[in-house]
Amino acid sequence: QSALTQPPSASGSPGQSVTISCTGTSSDVGGYNYVSWYQQHPGRAPKLMIYEVSKRPSGVPDRFSGSKSGNTASLTVSGLQADDEADYYCSSYAGNNKVFGGGTKLTVL
Amino acid sequence: QVQLVESGGGVVQPGTSLRLSCTASGFTFSGFPMHWVRQDPGTGLEWVAAISYDGSEKYHADSVKGRFTISRDNPRSTLYLQMNSLRVEDTAVYYCARVGRYYDILTKGSFDYWGQGTLLTVSS
């Protein structure tokens, strides 16, 4: 069982918005602003999409945004495109440890 | 361009040892903290270990503490993971990953570059 809880699946039609949640505790997500999100296409390495809750690395479209409320972080993908279909993982600092969520499979209908 | 290339995976029996390597290029390896992350297809991503830019600071996940050791050779631009007393549950794809900015604590960093991974299968 993963340390952070994500829904196993999410879906949306092209052009729509989808939000994926990531729930932890006050010892990880809720206690610090060091939550990151990764996108992983099948057979590929993960790609950083969001770091420090809401910051986007260079090259990541502004359709991807992150936020946090209490012990739950969220990734919102706006204007869904076919290439957004992938697995998404959240991760958080947790003291001398780093924890991941179990992953959410995003399907573009 | 930044490249991370893992090697050393394979099929081994429980109780044996193996060392994974990650060779870096395209950036000043000695200036960046590095991590190992593994992925079991059934359970997602799991953080394994972290090492500071100069190797002076190391952290290991509880699941591997006492069995795995992270290290680095900066002149060779290579990251290592020495794995002893391997268990069936260590079976996974092992990725090395770079933390691209400074953080005061190793495990705060997010991973801006990842290797392609190397598969370790532990089976009798």
- pLDDT tens column, B30-85: 999 999 999 997 778 999 999 999 999 999 999 999 999 999 999 999 999 999 99
State whether residue B89 is helix, strand or coil.
Answer: helix
Q: Give me the pLDDT at residue B94, please.
A: 98
Q: Under an 8 A CB cutoff, do B117 and A2 touch?
A: no
Q: Give me the pLDDT at residue B110, please.
A: 95
Which among B117, B91, B80, B92 has a CA at the least distance from the CA of B14?
B91
DSSP bridge pairs for A104? A88
pLDDT at A93 over 90: yes
Tell me how many residue pairs between chain A and chain B have CB atoms under 8 A apart. 59
Residues of B with a Cβ under 8 Å from any A Cβ are 35, 43-47, 50, 59, 61-62, 95, 103, 105-108, 110-112, 114-117
Q: Give me the pLDDT at residue B107, please.
A: 87
User: Taking CA atoms, what residue in B is nearest to A87?
Assistant: B44
Pairwise CA distance, residues B113 & A69, whole Å: 28
Q: Under an 8 A CB cutoff, do A45 and B62 touch?
A: no
Which among A43, A63, A42, A60 has a CA at the least distance from the CA of A51?
A60
Pairwise CA distance, residues B92 & B41, whole Å: 7
Q: Give me the pLDDT at residue B118, please.
A: 97
Which among A80, A107, A86 has a CA at the least distance from the CA of A15?
A80
**Residue where the block lists tokens 């260590």:** B90
Which among B81, B84, B61 has a CA at the least distance from the CA of B72?
B81
| Other residues' Cβ atoms within 10 Å of the Cβ of residue B36 | 27
| Other residues' Cβ atoms within 10 Å of the Cβ of residue B99 | 22
User: Taking CA atoms, what residue in B is nearest to A59?
Assistant: B112
State mean pLDDT over A84-97. 94
Instruction: Find the range with the poorest average confidence among A21-25, A69-73, B62-66, B98-102.
Output: B98-102
A19 by Cβ neighbours in 10 Å (0-12 / 13-18 / 19+) ranks as middle
pLDDT at A1 over 70: no
State mean pLDDT over A58-74. 97
User: Taking CA atoms, what residue in A is nearest to B98?
Assistant: A48
State mean pLDDT over A33-44. 95
